[in-house]
Structure 1
Amino acid sequence: MALSPMINSDSIARPVKDTDGNRYVAALIITVCLFFLWGMANNLNDILIAQFRKAFALSDFGTSFVQQVFYFGYFLVAIPAAAVMRRYGYKAAIVLGLTLYGCGALLFYPAAMVGVYQLFLLALFVIACGLAFLETSANPLMTELGDPRSAARRLNWAQAANPLGAITGILVGRNFILSGIEHDERSLATMAPAARDAFYRAEVQAVVLPYVAIAVVVLLFAVAAALVQFPRGNAENDGPDVPSGRFTDVFRRPRLMFAVVAQFFYVGAQVGLWSYTIRYAQENAGMGERGGADALFVSLILFAAGRFLGTALMSRLAPVMLLAIFSAFSVALAAIAGTVGGTIGLYALVVSSLFMSIQFPTIFALGVEGLGPLRKAGSSLIVMAIIGGAALTALMGWVSDRASITHAMLVPAACFAAVFFFALYARGSSVRAH
């Protein structure tokens, strides 16, 4: 999905660099690395779906629990994360988030030793709780640094590290988790029980080394963040247009509420589309799991390219207009993937990632625009909307099991349509405001 110096946003009424010089360069570096780290975690899930489907002989709906528990963690922790930020500042939220992330990754070791799918789901839930702290911290911060009119563009630039992390996650998964060994039901049935058990055990334990390595790196970042100096703030005074910071005030902001809905559908579309790209490639193009992973890798390359291209275009075209254009292309391409199928459908599915690139941060920036001291509360609601990744991925798995993985792609097509209508609404509300 995917996001500046680590500053308590309570204190930001002007860019940090104007008064503090290079004082917070270390915090800036750590924050950019955070975008990379959570991008890697998010897209390793796409590899895990293919791996667990094979290792535990799951249906498509059964594999969707990987994303269901992951994004349920985001949903549960978003508001507590905002509360921690408000009370203790961004530094505490980041250290806690990294610690949870690292501990969740370490849980992959006992889960693999026991060989129980549900323990892997618990580990993913803990990782997601940590990521909720990290994303709730970084996204609103970038919208507050500098000129509010360029917030969407600034947030897109900051998120450039996110697709790089996603690409790294796919490469790690393809080369260190996916074995390339694929047995159909008939060949498994003819195997000796001991050989079949050994196959399943090897596929389950393939996830251990990458996740333990990730845990070590993430926990080292937690130590570094604890030692780095961060700005401290006082009262929330970053906006003259909101008289109070009560959480319930956010529900009186229609654009924010529409942004929450749009983000729910966008994240559902992105997560579901990437989660089942490998399955789609296997069913529609006759590819193996590693070939499907290569298709997903190309998708993420295009996603990263789209992020840079889209952010550059924002200097010439209003972010809300770019969101409308990109979401319209996404609708068309997902619809082709869901109706045409075959190699053409796979191409459409892969290219759709180019146009997904700017949607998350642009929806976010448009949603919190003008919230002033309500920015933290508003951002926590938008982060909660990430639950769409759980709900809609499950829906796609259900459709796939009952129809086909091809027709399941009509779900993200409908989701992108919701984003398109939000862009039209946001453009209209901007015109009325002026």
Structure 2
Amino acid sequence: MSKKKGWVEQTDGYLNKTPTFQFILVTILFALWAIAASLNDILITQFKSVFQLSDFATAFVQSAFYGGYFLVAIPAALFIKKNSYKLAIIAGLTFFSLGCFLFFPASRLATYSVFLIAIFVIAIGLSFLETSADTYSSLLGPRRLATVRLNISQTFNAIGGIIGILLGKYLVFTDHNLQEEMARLSDAEAIKFGQQVLQRTLTPYIYVLIVLIVMIILFSVTKFPSGKVRKKSGEIDSAKFGETMNYLLHNKRYWRGVLAQFFYMGVQTGVWSFTMRLALDMFPHFNEKYVANFMLYSYICFFVGRFLASYLLSRFRETIVLTVYAVIGTVMLIGTTFIPNMIAIYLAVGVSLLLGPGWPTIYARTLETVDDKRHTETAGAIIVMAIVGGAVLPVIQGLISDATTMQFSFIATAVEFAWVAWYFISEIKYDIRSTVTNKSHSLED
């Protein structure tokens, strides 16, 4: 063990106590990547009209975003193994900053593909951040409180989502229906007007860029623990990539968790990407600035739902709570799919109450199946790679929308949430076994 700045690093990578300032900095990262993700929902609605895209094509915003996560998660984990969590976070903030900067030439060139490149570069940075921070947050303190710390950090994910939507609503959208405005213009006028509209997308990224520069400076000058597993001699104990993959391939429960995360991301991304599109499609007299309210309400529901879940998880088994959440969410999404009035919109918004505990619970639970902590960085990176569900499944939803209606496409999210419910039902037996084992240990003591 080594003592640094008032904390003691244990051999398993955890600390004897939580360093407050360092934990706050890491937790702010959760808000930052949520701002980027929620701004995607704004961009999808904006690009739909400016570039005259199909719902299938607009989904490529999320494909570029979450595809970046998928491709970079393993390289990010290897970077952490070779260097440190702190350096990986600084690298992530740097890529995030570069992606925000690319919005300047993208808005001037006014082509969809250049915007997708900028979003992809942002995603590279966020993949470094999330691969680092999801695990690092859980390590910044005693092991028994690891899930609590991760849930606290994830609460700021909801706050970031609210900030992102507010930035989009007041800095990007106007009081007019963009699609109707562009339909009244000639081709030449529409192109010129579209370029003016795209300039508005710059503003929120300017503010984000300023915050990112400040964060890079703060992380550079602040001391952080290593978070690495150590031998008794004090040397860092790590496993080679091939050894880790061989270990994980024999852990069926781990891969079930990864698949659950894949489908969960399909639900979250699909609902949030298309809620505004659903409102505009069902009620054409609405404008983009007005329907942004539905996403604001969604993120508020997400925030409230996470606090409610924290209370319920302190009283009941997490498998029971998450099973009930997923089943209710599935029913609500079926209602969104088939109810032909405003109730469908409010059900889509209300589902966010049930999304709050999904990601951190599946992440922490899946990582707990890895008993050999030498494999933590890579195992955590693969769980982050499951974010690719947010790249693949919304595209399928977009195809369904183009073939039928935007409302009917929500059947895809209902099916995905039902699979998440099945995962937690299958996990109940492990909670029961754990309870029995703990009781037997208590009797032996």
**TM-score, normalised to structure 1's length?**
0.91
Between stretches 49-58 and 195-204, larger displacement belongs to 195-204
Of residues 160, 166, 188 in structure 2, which corresponds to 1:171?
Answer: 166
How many angstroms apart in 2 are the aligned matches of 1:107 and 1:244? Answer: 37
- What's the counterpart of residue 353 of structure 2? 354
Q: Which residue of 1 aligns with 2:443?
A: none
Q: Which one-letter code corresponds to 1:427 in the other structure?
A: I
Rate the CA distance shift 1:147–1:39 in 2: closer, same or farther, 3 A. Answer: same
Which aligned pairs between 1:60-139 and structure 2 lie closer than 5 A? 60-139=55-134
Are 2:30 and 1:15 equivalent residues in the alignment? no
Amino acid at match of 2:207: A
**What does 1:177-196 correspond to in 2, within 5 Å?**
177-184=172-179, 188=182, 190-196=184-190
Distance 1:427 1:141, change over 3 A: farther
| Stretch moving more, 164-173 or 316-325 | 316-325
Q: CA deviation at 1:30?
A: 1.3
Question: In 2 relative to 1, CA 278–182 (structure 1 residues): closer, same or farther, beyond 3 Å?
Answer: same
The amino acid of 1:356's aligned partner reads L
Q: How does 1:19-418 map to 2 (within 5 A)?
A: 24-145=19-140, 148=143, 150-184=145-179, 188=182, 190-232=184-226, 235-236=229-230, 246-248=243-245, 249-286=247-284, 287-371=286-370, 372-418=373-419
Alpha-carbon shift at residue 432 of structure 1 (Å): 3.7
Measured in 1, the distance between the counterparts of 2:108 and 2:198 equals 9
Contact kept in structure 1, 2:331 and 2:414, CA below 8 Å: yes
1:21: which partner in 2?
none
Q: What SS does the corresponding residue of 2:315 show, helix, strand or coil?
A: coil
State how far apart, in whole Å, the 1-side matches of 2:290 and 2:119 are. 25
Partner of 1:231, secondary structure, is: coil
Q: Decide which moves more: 28-37 or 92-101.
A: 28-37
Tell me by how many angstroms 1:140 deviates.
Answer: 1.7
Q: Which stretches in structure 2 are left out of the alignment for 5+ residues? A: 438-445
* Residue 442 (structure 2) aligns with: none
The answer (yes or no) to whether the contact 2:41–2:272 under 8 Å persists in 1 is yes
Superimposed CA distance per residue, residues 257-316 of structure 1 (whole angstroms, 9 cap, x where no aligned partner): 001100000001101110001011112345321221101110110000011110122111
Q: Structure 1 residues 243 and 427 mapped into 2: Cα distance closer, same or farther (>3 Å)?
A: farther
Q: How far is the alpha carbon of 1:171 from its aligned partner?
A: 0.3
Offset of residue 426 of structure 1: 1.7
Say if 1:237 and 1:373, in contact at 8 Å, map to a contact too. Answer: no
1:9 Cα shift? 9.1
Aligned mates of 1:259, 1:8 — CA distance in 2: 32
Which residue identity lines up with residue 256 of structure 2 in the other structure?
F
Return the offset for 1:29: 2.2
> Residues 350 and 105 (structure 1 numbering): CA distance in 2 closer, same or farther, change over 3 Å?
same
CA contact (8 A) 2:85 2:227 kept: no
| C-alpha distance in structure 2 between counterparts of 1:8 and 1:382, whole Å | 28
My pick for the range that moved more, 417-426 or 142-151, is 142-151
Task: Spell out, residue by residue over 1:18-37, the C-alpha distance to the aligned partner (whole angstroms, 9 max, x if none).
Answer: 7xxxxx44322211211111
Q: CA deviation at 1:250?
A: 1.4
Residue 146 to residue 57, structure 1, CA distance change in 2 (3 Å): same
CA displacement, residues 316-358 of structure 1 (integer Å, 9 cap, x when unaligned): 1122221111111111111110122421111111111000110
SS in 1 for 2:177: coil
8 and 233 in structure 1: CA distance in 2 versus 1, 3 angstrom threshold? farther
Letter in 1 for 2:349: V
Count of residues in correspondence between the two structures:
420
Deviation at 1:149, TM superposition (A): 5.4
What amino acid is the match of 1:81? A
Counterparts of 2:396 and 2:227 in 1: how far apart (Å)? 43
Q: Is the 8 A contact 2:13 2:229 kept in 1?
A: no
Residues 237 and 75 from structure 1, CA distance in 2 versus in 1: closer, same or farther, beyond 3 angstroms? Answer: farther
Task: Kindly indicate whether the alpha-carbon contact (under 8 Å) linking 2:294 and 2:349 is maintained by their aligned counterparts in 1.
Answer: yes
Structure 2 distance, partners of 1:111, 1:159, is 31
The question of whether the paired residues in 1 share the 8 Å contact of 2:36 and 2:164 is answered with yes
Q: Match for 2:279: what amino acid?
A: A
The letter for the 2-side match of 1:268 is G
- The percent of aligned pairs where both chains have the same amino acid is 35
Shift of 1:125: 0.3
CA shift, 1:143, in A, is: 3.4
Which blocks of at least 5 consecutive residues in structure 1 are unaligned? Answer: 19-23
